[in-house]
Amino acid sequence: METLKNEIIRLKKEKNAVILAHYYQMDEIQEIADIRGDSLALAIEASKLDAEIIVFCGVKFMAETAKVVSPNKKVLIPVIDATCPLADTADKESVLNKKKELGDVAVVSYVNTNVDVKTVSDICCTSANAVNVVKSLKEKRILFVPDRNLGDYVAGEVKDKEIILWNGACPVHEAYDIEQLYDLKNKYPDAAVAVHPESPRAIREAADFIGSTSGIINFVGNSSSKRFIIGTEEGILFELKRNNPDKEFYIIGSRSVCTNMKKITLNDLYLSLKEERFEIKLDKKTIEEAKKPIERMISIKRNQ
């Protein structure tokens, strides 16, 4: 393991590469990464880096976003089939058909979409800025693609707009059951509850805080509570425990795992750097078309 880590560090320097990792990655990947973050932070970082190679430890839509904002860099993802099943619930043609059927709507696509969907979107958002993104639009009718839970959360926060929901959901957050949350609340009545907006409405309504992964990390860091019930993928515990060694964390349902986020191992990361695989390749037109909604999203500030 140490040799593998040393090799990764050596190759990274030799090739002028930067490793970005999402908070849901395995601990050893987050540990060796140069930058950890939520989807929005990683997209912004990718647009600013001056490295020659970006190795993106996350899922494919995140690496594609990095390529769009940094088209002149080589963007690698260590495992090519680390995809997001939520993103796969929408494709370009169905979004265009829905838009045609609805008439005058703005298409807001969650960054958890494949790049072809972004090319037909007015603006992207992440869970960190979705509310502000929707508020920033002049249009009163919004087609929100693809997460119906995040869209429902936004609709609750932006009452003067009609939010038309796509019927997609994240299997990891959708699996939370309100009874599991009540059990934890009964066991730890003093615990504060922080959940991701991809969680179903009943879970969100029982929470003290709703926000992106970095929103949850900031909430926990600033809270005087000692115990927390967390409603998001358990990779977040790496950062939470690191920043708050004196606090306790309980994940809804006791485990919550995104199998795609967990596909990347240290060995995959090593091979990715060594063999410069797997490169994200997008054609010029796709990059140009997807860049507009992504850059528009980056210009909108975070909800919290």
Pick between residue 113 and residue 126 the one whose CB is nearest to ligand 13P.
126
Among 293, 300, 285, 274, which Cα is nearest to 78's?
Answer: 274
Q: Which helix (H) or strand (E) holds 228?
A: strand 227-231
State the binding partner of 73 from ligand SF4, ligand 13P, none, CB within 5 to 8 A by kind. Answer: none
- For position 169 contacting ligand SF4 by CB under 6 A, the verdict is no
Amino acid present at 234: E
State the binding partner of 126 from ligand 13P, ligand SF4, none, CB within 5 to 8 A by kind. Answer: ligand 13P
Q: Which residues of 126-137 are buried (b: 16+ CB within 10 A; e: fewer)?
A: bbbbbbbbbebb
Contact by Cβ (8 Å): 214, 200: no
Pick between residue 6 and residue 254 the one whose CB is nearest to ligand SF4.
254
Site map (CB under 6 A) of ligand SF4, residues 226-265, x = contact:
-------x------------------------x-xx----
Residue 39 token pair: 């989807």
Amino acid present at 176: Y
Residue from 38, 45, 239, 268 that binds ligand 13P (CB under 6 A)?
Answer: 38
State the binding partner of 85 from ligand SF4, ligand 13P, none, CB within 5 to 8 A by kind. Answer: ligand SF4
Residue 67 token pair: 């390529």
CB-based contacts of 190, cutoff 8 Å, min separation 6:
225, 226, 227
- For position 260 contacting ligand 13P by CB under 6 A, the verdict is no
- For position 119 contacting ligand 13P by CB under 6 A, the verdict is no
Q: Tell me if the bond preceding 278 is cis, omega within 30° of 0.
A: yes
Residue ranges in 98-127 that form contacts with ligand SF4 under rule CB under 6 A: 112
Residue span binding ligand 13P (CB under 6 A) among the ranges 65-73, 97-105, 121-129, 181-189: 121-129
- For position 212 contacting ligand 13P by CB under 6 A, the verdict is yes
Residue span binding ligand 13P (CB under 6 A) among the ranges 89-97, 120-128, 138-146, 274-282: 120-128
- For position 85 contacting ligand SF4 by CB under 6 A, the verdict is yes
Q: How many residues bind ligand 13P (CB under 6 A)?
A: 12
Site map (CB under 6 A) of ligand 13P, residues 151-190, x = contact:
-------------------x--------------------
Compute the distance between CA of residue 170 and CA of residue 270 in angstroms, rounded to an integer: 29
Q: ∠7-11-15 over CA atoms, to 5°?
A: 180
CB-based contacts of 249, cutoff 8 Å, min separation 6:
227, 228, 230, 237, 240, 241
Name residue 141's beta-bridge partners.
162
Site map (CB under 6 A) of ligand 13P, residues 216-255, x = contact:
----------------------------------------
- For position 40 contacting ligand SF4 by CB under 6 A, the verdict is no
Q: How far is CA 214 from CA 16, 37, 165, 178, 190, in A?
A: 27, 7, 25, 23, 23
Binding site for ligand 13P (CB under 6 A): 23, 38-39, 112, 126-128, 170, 196, 198, 212-213
Binding site for ligand SF4 (CB under 6 A): 59, 84-86, 112, 170-172, 233, 258, 260-261
